[in-house]
């Protein structure tokens, strides 16, 4: 599956520091005049309307791509809320953002090298990409019966 061309900022620094979480703001859909306009969350998905405008998701729809996952859950799970096929991993393992600029040309099979990306179907029937777990220790068990 090719990487998304969405304008969303996927670097860990941006995801960890710049993501506008909604601490104490107006209740979803109330348009509370006393709330900081930068913190209003009209659709209740956990993302400020100003952030949704910036990245191109719909501030009036909790699930922009209609895939069953609220935009806030997708962003916090390092998936793209504008692409229905991209959602948090159902297997329960935390995903990580794929670093910008990472390419197959930088991979190898020596100790310390970045492994080439590949995908497999997991026990839940979901296609899983190795690079979705970038920065984590991964054990790939391979076997065959003869």
User: pLDDT tens-digit profile of 67-83?
Assistant: 888 999 888 888 889 88
Contact present, 65 and 84 (Cβ < 8 Å): yes
Q: Are residues 134 and 99 in the same domain?
A: yes
Q: Are residues 3 and 59 in the same domain?
A: yes
Q: Are residues 49 and 7 in the same domain?
A: yes
Number of domains in the chain: 2
Query: How many whole angstroms separate alpha carbon 91 and alpha carbon 49?
Result: 30
The length of the chain in residues reads 146
Q: Are residues 6 and 71 in the same domain?
A: yes
Q: What is the pLDDT along the chain (146 residues), one digit of tens a residue?
A: 444 444 444 444 344 444 444 444 444 554 554 567 678 999 999 999 988 988 889 999 999 999 888 999 888 888 889 888 887 877 767 777 777 777 888 888 888 888 888 888 887 788 888 888 887 787 877 788 88
Q: Are residues 10 and 47 in the same domain?
A: yes
Contact present, 36 and 48 (Cβ < 8 Å): no
Q: Are residues 75 and 117 in the same domain?
A: no
Which residues span the domain enclosing 17? 1-88
Q: Are residues 15 and 37 in the same domain?
A: yes
Give the residue from 105, 88, 80, 63 showing the smallest Cα distance to 2: 80
Q: Are residues 66 and 105 in the same domain?
A: no
Reported pTM: 0.56
Q: Are residues 99 and 40 in the same domain?
A: no
């Amino acid at each position: 599956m090719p990487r998304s061309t969405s304008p969303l900022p996927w670097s860990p620094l941006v995801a960890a520091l710049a993501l506008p979480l909604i601490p104490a703001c107006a209740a979803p859909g109330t348009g509370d005049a006393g709330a900081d306009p930068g913190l209003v969350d009209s659709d209740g998905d956990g993302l400020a309307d100003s952030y949704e405008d910036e990245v191109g998701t719909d501030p009036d729809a909790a699930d922009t791509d209609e895939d069953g996952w609220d935009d806030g859950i997708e962003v916090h799970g390092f998936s793209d809320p504008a692409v229905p096929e991209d959602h948090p991993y159902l297997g329960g393992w935390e995903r990580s953002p794929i670093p910008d600029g990472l390419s197959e040309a930088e991979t190898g099979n020596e100790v310390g090298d970045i492994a080439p990306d590949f995908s497999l179907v997991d026990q839940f029937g979901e296609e899983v990409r190795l690079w979705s777990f970038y920065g984590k220790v991964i054990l790939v068990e391979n076997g065959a019966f003869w």
